[in-house]
Structure 1
Amino acid sequence: MAKSQKKKKQYNRPTPAAPVPNPSTQRSPEKAANNGSLILVAGFVVVLFLFWYYHLLVLNQMTDLSNGLAMPDQMVGGYSVGHIEALRQAMDADAVGQLNYVHKTAGLLFPLFLALVTMLAVNINTSRGVGRWILWAVPMLFAVVDLWENRAVDALFTGALEPAAVSLASTLTTTRWILLFATAAILFGVLIASFVRTFREKWELSKKGLL
Structure 2
Amino acid sequence: MAKTPAQRIKKHGAKAAVPQHHLPPVINPGTDRSPAKAQNNASLIVIAGVVASLFLFWYVHLLTLNQLTQLSGGLAMPDSLVGGFGTGYAAQLRRALDADARGQLNYVHKTAGTLFPLIFAFTWLLLIGTNVAKKALRWALWALPLLFVVVRLWGNVTIDSMIAAVNLDAGQVALASGLTVAGWVLFVASLIAGGAAVFLGRRASKEAAGPPVV
Task: Give, as a single letter, the amino acid of the residue that structure 2 aligns with 1:29.
Answer: P
- 1:150 aligned onto 2:150: no
Residues in 1 aligned to 2:113 and 2:30: alpha-carbon distance in whole angstroms? 41
Q: Distance in 2 between matches of 1:31 and 1:44?
A: 20
For structure 2, list consecutive stretches of 5 or more residues without a partner in the other structure: 1-10
Q: Deviations over 1:122-149 (max 9, x none)?
A: 1111115221111111111110110000
Deviation of 1:112 after TM superposition, in Å, equals 0.5
More helix as a share of residues? 2
- Equivalenced residue count is 203
CA distance 1:41–1:202, shift in 2 (3 Å): farther
CA distance in 2, matches of 1:103, 1:15: 66
Q: Give 2:75's aligned amino acid.
A: L
**Match runs of 1:91-130 below 5 Å:** 91-130=97-136
Quote the residue 1:194 is aligned against: 201
Q: 1:130 to 1:101 in 2, by over 3 A?
A: same
1:193 CA drift (Å):
3.6
For residues 79 and 30 of structure 1, what CA distance do their matches in structure 2 show?
A: 48
Deviation for aligned residue 1:188: 2.3
Measured in 2, the distance between the counterparts of 1:33 and 1:124 equals 7
Summarize the alignment of residues 1-211 of structure 1 with structure 2, pairs less than 5 Å apart. 8-9=13-14, 14=20, 16=22, 19=25, 21=27, 26-158=32-164, 159-195=166-202, 197-198=204-205, 204=211, 207-208=212-213
Per-residue deviation, residues 131-186 of structure 1 (Å, max 9, x unmatched): 11111111111101100000000001122111111011111111111111111111
How far residue 102 of structure 1 moved from its aligned partner, in angstroms, is 0.5
Q: What percent of counterpart residues are identical?
A: 46
CA RMSD across the alignment = 2.5
Q: Deviations over 1:87-111 (max 9, x none)?
A: 1111110000000000011110111
CA shift, 1:194, in A, is 3.0
Cα distance between partner residues in 2 of 1:24 and 1:108: 35
Structure 1 spans left out of the alignment, 5+ residues: 1-5
Q: Give me the TM-score of the superposition, normalised by structure 2.
A: 0.84
Which whole-Å CA distance do the structure 2 matches of 1:123 and 1:197 have between them? 13
Q: Secondary structure at the match of 2:33?
A: coil
Secondary structure (helix, strand or coil) at the match of 1:68 reads: coil
CA distance in 2, matches of 1:121, 1:61: 32
Q: 2:132·2:200 contact (CA, 8 Å) conserved in 1? A: no
